[in-house]
């Protein structure tokens, strides 16, 4: 049975969900997107994802033809039509159909589509054992060229880094910025623990400000854990007490070896495990209900 896709005001079978070959999202990567998760009949942090989507669109001077409230209903209705209570949502807005030139003003109206399906980025055993990652030579885009704060359809920078990771035989890689500071992974944000403090790079050095990243920082503060956004180098990663990555698909996943250096004792740390548990508990109760009237979790948040 084919998936049902939202495309420009209609819900159509996936084989009929087609965009023009003149769409500038396809031709030039001109557009924005969000990856979102549904858990237990709720769409986790949907408001935060929509805020980032509309901020990204504003930065590239693209007006989304739906309000945030209308876009929320698109997400929920697409899940309903696919009878999904748990799954992954890809919400995409392109510049739309234009000509073969670069001029975005030739694109009359943005294209909007929403896909809902299932996803598992990493096997469960890696959440128990931890990831092995490497640092790659591909540097993160500099903010004054293509700002990583915009979650754009142009992901070549990340893809180059992912290719290096695969050549090294590992599932993920750390990317540095132009100055040599740790920025993020190819699709995830990075955290380290030093002297009991949870540290993550600040967004201004050139990284996507992840919804999961911000959620984890909030959870840590609620638990009384000191959290800092500050620059750090690979030296700090190699000598960290703990290290983990965060992302919508990855959630919170431990990292136990970087560039052949074992992190601490080579096992996921206690703070990492605590935050994994807290994050998973929050996914059970946070976000709008997909099917109104259903009861999920124990207490809304």
Contact 248, 211 (CB under 8 A): yes
Helix (H, G, I), strand (E, B) or coil at 38: strand
Long-range CB contacts for residues 5-13, cutoff 8 Å, separation at least 24: 5/78, 5/113, 5/114, 5/115, 6/74, 6/77, 6/78, 6/112, 6/113, 6/114, 7/111, 7/112, 7/113, 8/111, 8/112, 8/113, 11/77, 11/78, 11/81
Question: Which of 205, 210, 164, 162 lies closest to 186, judged by CA?
Answer: 162
151 is catalytic: yes
From its phi and psi, is residue 194 left (phi > 0), alpha (psi between -120 and 50) or beta?
beta
- Which of 151, 162, 166, 194 does the annotation list as catalytic? 151
- List the helix and strand counts (H, then E) for the chain: 8, 15
Pairing relation of β-strands 172-176 and 197-200?
A: unpaired
DSSP labels for 227-284?
Answer: EEE----HHHHHT-SEEEEEETTTEEEEEEEETTEEPTTSS--HHHHHHHHHHHHHHT
**Beta bridge partner(s), residue 88:** 37, 117
Tell the residue number behind the tokens 């033809």, with chain if given. 65
Contact 290, 85 (CB under 8 A): yes
CA separation, residue 72 to residues 47, 57, 126, 142, 299 (Å): 8, 16, 33, 32, 22
Residues annotated as catalytic are 151
């Amino acid at each position: 049975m084919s998936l049902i896709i939202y495309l420009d005001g209609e819900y159509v079978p996936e084989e009929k969900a087609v965009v023009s070959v003149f769409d500038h999202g396809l031709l030039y990567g001109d557009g924005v997107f969000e990856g979102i998760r549904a858990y237990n009949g709720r769409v986790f942090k949907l408001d935060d994802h929509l805020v980032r989507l509309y901020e990204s669109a504003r930065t590239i001077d693209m007006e989304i033809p739906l309000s945030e409230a209308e876009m929320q209903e698109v997400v929920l209705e697409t899940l309903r039509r696919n009878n999904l209570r748990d799954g992954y949502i890809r919400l995409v807005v392109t510049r739309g159909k234009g000509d073969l030139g670069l001029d975005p003003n030739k694109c009359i109206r943005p294209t909007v589509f929403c896909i809902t399906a299932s996803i598992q980025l990493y096997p469960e055993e890696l959440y128990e054992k931890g990831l092995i990652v490497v640092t790659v030579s591909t540097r993160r885009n500099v903010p004054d060229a293509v700002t990583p704060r915009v979650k754009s359809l142009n992901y070549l920078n990340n893809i180059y880094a992912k290719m290096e990771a695969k050549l090294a035989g590992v599932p993920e890689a750390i990317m540095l910025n132009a100055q040599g500071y740790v920025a993020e992974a190819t699709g995830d944000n990075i955290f380290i623990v030093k002297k009991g403090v949870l540290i993550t790079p600040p967004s201004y050095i050139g990284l996507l400000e992840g919804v999961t990243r911000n959620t984890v920082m909030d959870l840590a503060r609620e638990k009384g854990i000191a959290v800092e956004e500050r620059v750090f180098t690979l030296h700090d990663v190699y000598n960290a007490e703990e290290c983990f990555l965060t992302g919508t698909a990855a959630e919170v996943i431990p990292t136990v070896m970087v560039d052949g250096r074992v992190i601490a004792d080579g096992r996921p740390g206690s703070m990492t495990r605590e935050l994994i548990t807290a994050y998973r508990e929050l996914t059970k109760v946070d976000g709008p209900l997909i099917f109104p009237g259903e009861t999920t979790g124990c207490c809304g948040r």
